[in-house]
Every structure is written in C-alpha cells, then in structure tokens.
C-alpha cells in the first residue's frame, strides 16, 4: 500500500488548548507525523508526495465564508496589536438569531466549535496541504490502486462545513469522499477514531450518497458530548445513512470487532463503490486520552475486518496522539488489511 505524505504539515505547530478550564500543551504536535512515518517505514510502505489540487476539492465541502476566514485569519489577528500567540475564540454565538460578524474576534467564535483548535501562523498552509494529501490518495484509488493511506496532519473529522474544532480545520475524510464521488455513485466513510466524527456527520447528515459510520467512545462521558448518539440517523434525504456505534469507555478488542461486524452488514446493504476509513489510532489502550482499550494486535484485527469489506479503500489519518505505541499501531492496522486482502 502506498502512503501519501508531505513535510508541509510542520507549519502547523500549536502550543496550547483549553480543556476543563485548564491551559494544556496540545497533543496534536508535528512529532505525531514523525511517529506515524516510523510506522510506515516499519511496514515498508512507499511514500508519495501529494499533488496540489487547489481550492476546488475544499470548496466541495466547506463554505466560501469559512475558507476565506481560515485563509485570512492570522493576518487579521496579528493586526489587532494586542492579540495572543495563537487564536482561540472567546465568544461562541451558537447562531441563534445571529448576524455573521465582520470583526476577526467575532469570526473566530463563529467558525470554531470549541477551544481545542488553536490557529497559528502556519495553520492554513498545513491544513491545505493535508487536503492535498487526502485527495491524492483518493485519486490514486480512482486510478486503479486497491488501497492507499493518507498521512494527514492536522486531522479533520471534527471540522464541519464552516466550523473548526477538536484539533481539526478542514475535513480531510469528507473531502476525500467527495472526490471519490466523482467516480462512484455511493461512498462510505467509516470513522474508527475514539472520538465521534461529528464534523463528518454534520456535513453529510442530509445526503443519501455518502453513508457516514462512526465507532467511538460513548459521548455520554466523552468528547464531543453532544453528538454521536445511536439515535442520530440522518435527516431528510439522508435519513438512514448515518450510523453511530457508541462503545462503553474501556471497550477492548473483542467488543470493537463485534461493532465491526455490524458495520460490515450496514455497508453491504448500502452497496457503495468505495470506502474511506477515517483512521483514528486513539482507540489504543496506550493513547493519552484513554477512551477505549484496543491493543496493537487488535488493530491488526480491525485492518483485517476492513479488508474483508472488499472495497477500494482510502485510509485518512485522523487521531492518535503522542504515545510510544503510535507507529506500531499504524503498522499493525495496515498489515492486517494487507494480509486479509
């Protein structure tokens, strides 16, 4: 399996975020990519540089106002003269009878869902590079590759059409799926991150052509708290094309594989032409956020289960934070896929 990667991700180097009222060092650091690259090297995967696709693929998913905000945010922020070293909103209007703001502080609040997506001087460039990585991987599958892996950083699955959140700015998995739709009538996104893929769900919630499925830690007790419940099934034309499988905190390998069996049946009924895996490795027993307890051999079993779905597959990197086991878990899931293919 070929892997798409660019060093341009390093321009995004967030230093802090706010969680439970505490300023903490973010775990979404450039070192994540270094550890993932080691996993790719250990698995002997060929690295491929991305093609630059421009704004088109991003504009299929994200609103013009949001893309404009992200591209101009840092210059407007620094022009204030009294702003901090990173952008974190101090107002979140939740859009109840609200007017779209013209001031950068208002726009920052409008376009962020939480305080866990700090914007710095290189965030826009890195986020754009990540979408090129995802689209390149999707295009390679459209051109005949059986499966590809996209090392995207920053991640994307918490990003809505016009909101950042949870370390995510542009929704790489959604952008990859929209690109695959140029060839396939129906596409599935299967999110195996420990956190619910709320942004992806929101983007496709009323669409019947992209089936969004997420296996994640129960949001009753875990981020994002207000999305990710089993009763969320889509709306309008998209009713029935969203499936959430929340798992009890601490669920391990066997419970996770049981959920994968439910996913396989749902995907078979939908009959898609291609599959996007929003690959979170933070379901690991060793992940610092500790929601689920999947072992390294368990990730191999997950890869095998994905392979048996027998679809052209694009793996898009989502979560999986700084732990000694991160690279080994990536090696394991891709090896399991290749073994079972």
pLDDT of residue 290: 85
pLDDT surpassing 90 at residue 106: yes
Third-level CATH fold of 2-340: 3.40.800
Query: pLDDT-based confidence at 3, cuts 50/70/90?
Result: very high
pLDDT surpassing 90 at residue 47: yes
* Domain locations along the chain: 2-340
| Whole-number Å distance between alpha carbons of 201 and 273 | 19
pLDDT surpassing 90 at residue 268: yes
**What mean pLDDT is predicted for residues 129-158?**
98
Catalytic, out of 5, 9, 12, 158: 158
Taking Cα atoms as reference points, which of 320, 311, 268 lies closest to residue 147?
Answer: 311
- Evaluated on CA atoms 178, 57, 86, 27, the torsion sign reads positive
pLDDT of residue 81: 95
pLDDT of residue 304: 98
pLDDT of residue 237: 98
Taking Cα atoms as reference points, which of 3, 49, 279 lies closest to residue 147?
Answer: 3
Q: Token digits for 26?
A: 């973010």
**What mean pLDDT is predicted for residues 245-270?**
98
Point out which residues pair with 246 in neighbouring strands: 216
Residue 24, SS3 per DSSP: strand
CB-based burial, 282-320: b 16+ in 10 Å, e otherwise: bbbbbbebebbbbbbebbbbbbbbbbebebbbbbbbbbb
Residue 158 falls in the annotated catalytic set: yes
Cβ atoms of 191 and 155 within 8 Å: the answer is no
Query: Greater confidence, 92 or 77?
Result: 77
pLDDT of residue 289: 82
pLDDT of residue 256: 98
**What mean pLDDT is predicted for residues 265-278?**
98
**What mean pLDDT is predicted for residues 127-144?**
99
pLDDT of residue 97: 84
pLDDT of residue 19: 87
Q: Give 272-327 pLDDT, tens digit per residue.
A: 999 999 999 999 999 988 899 999 999 999 999 999 999 999 999 999 988 899 99
Q: Token digits for 154?
A: 């920053």
pLDDT of residue 101: 96
pLDDT surpassing 90 at residue 94: no
Query: pLDDT-based confidence at 138, cuts 50/70/90?
Result: very high
Query: Greater confidence, 204 or 17?
Result: 204
Reported pTM: 0.98
**What mean pLDDT is predicted for residues 216-235?**
97
| Whole-number Å distance between alpha carbons of 167 and 321 | 11
| Whole-number Å distance between alpha carbons of 247 and 262 | 13
Burial (0-12, 13-18, 19+ Cβ within 10 Å), 84 = exposed
Point out which residues pair with 191 in neighbouring strands: 214, 278
Q: Whole-number mean pLDDT of the chain?
A: 97
How many CA atoms lie within 13 Å of 13's alpha carbon, on the beta-carbon side? 8
pLDDT of residue 56: 98
% of residues, the chain, pLDDT over 70: 100
pLDDT of residue 84: 95
* CA 267 vs CA 59, 115, 193: distances in Å: 27, 34, 18
**What mean pLDDT is predicted for residues 235-259?**
98
pLDDT surpassing 90 at residue 267: yes
| Whole-number Å distance between alpha carbons of 242 and 252 | 24
pLDDT of residue 73: 98
pLDDT of residue 274: 99
pLDDT of residue 23: 92
């Amino acid at each position: 399996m070929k892997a798409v990667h660019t060093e341009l991700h390093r321009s995004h180097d967030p230093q802090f975020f706010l969680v439970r009222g505490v300023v903490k060092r973010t775990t979404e650091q450039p070192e994540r990519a270094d550890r993932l690259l080691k996993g790719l090297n250990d698995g002997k995967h060929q690295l491929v540089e991305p093609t630059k696709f421009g704004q088109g693929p991003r504009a299929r998913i994200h609103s013009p106002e949001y893309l404009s905000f992200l591209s101009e945010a840092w210059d407007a922020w620094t022009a204030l003269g009294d702003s901090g070293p990173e952008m974190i909103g101090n107002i979140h209007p939740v859009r109840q009878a609200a007017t779209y703001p013209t001031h950068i502080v208002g726009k920052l609040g409008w376009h962020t869902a939480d305080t866990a997506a700090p914007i710095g001087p290189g965030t826009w460039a890195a986020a754009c590079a990540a979408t090129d990585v995802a689209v390149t991987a999707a295009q390679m599958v459209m051109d005949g590759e059986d499966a590809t892996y996209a090392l995207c950083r920053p991640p994307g699955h918490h990003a809505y059409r016009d909101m950042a959140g949870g370390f995510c700015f542009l929704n790489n998995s959604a952008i990859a799926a929209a690109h695959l739709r140029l060839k396939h009538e129906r596409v599935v996104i299967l999110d195996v991150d420990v956190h619910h893929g709320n942004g992806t769900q929101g983007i496709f919630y009323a669409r019947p052509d992209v089936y969004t499925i997420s296996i994640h830690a129960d949001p009753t007790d875990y981020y994002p708290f207000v999305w990710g419940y089993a009763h969320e099934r889509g709306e309008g034309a998209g009713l029935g094309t969203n499936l959430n499988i929340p798992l009890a905190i601490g669920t391990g390998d066997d419970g996770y594989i049981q959920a994968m069996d439910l996913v396989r049946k749902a995907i078979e009924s939908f009959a898609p032409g291609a599959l996007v895996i929003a690959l979170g490795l933070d379901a690991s027993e060793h992940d610092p956020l500790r929601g689920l307890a999947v072992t390294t051999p368990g990730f191999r079993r997950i890869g095998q289960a994905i392979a048996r779905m027998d679809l052209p597959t694009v793996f898009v990197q989502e979560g999986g934070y700084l732990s000694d086991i991160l690279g080994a878990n990536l090696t394991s899931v891709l090896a399991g896929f290749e073994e079972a293919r």
